[in-house]
Chains A and B, each alone.
Chain A
């Protein structure tokens, strides 16, 4: 079964400090990893996906298959980064076919203090 673990429920940093939100996963197949973000009073939205290998709003995430991790990082946090962050996983079974079930972690609430 696929599982996503976000060990930190809450993370608080000061503006300008580096931030890392941790995500570990377990899978049986070829994983595709995502980070979703939900700002206050807004809907859940995709932040980035590992296959894109891009930086969004200064955030990056590298898939480490050896450690089964997909940590989200930003070198200098901004107050507007305060939000709920969810790591999510889709697994495509080796046997073929498709399984687009998106499995979410429990989320980490990031607070960036001035």
Chain B
């Protein structure tokens, strides 16, 4: 199976909270990331969390990590139309090789 899995699509109304979920299989994953990709653009790093943390908050973004279940989530508070994009979860291992393994991405659609 895939190393990193995400649901394909999420639709929310402007002002609501969005929660994007991700599961990963490799327990040796040390760093977990969330990237945002807008149409025709590259990847923008939103936030990342070390595997020894449970939660990280950065303004409207909250990352929760359940290491036991290998589950990562990204919560976007007060979602805006500008948040419409594809969100990728990624993991890397602390092996000196910083290769990122990405999920297939979750398309977030924010309706006015």
Q: Do A and B bind each other?
A: no
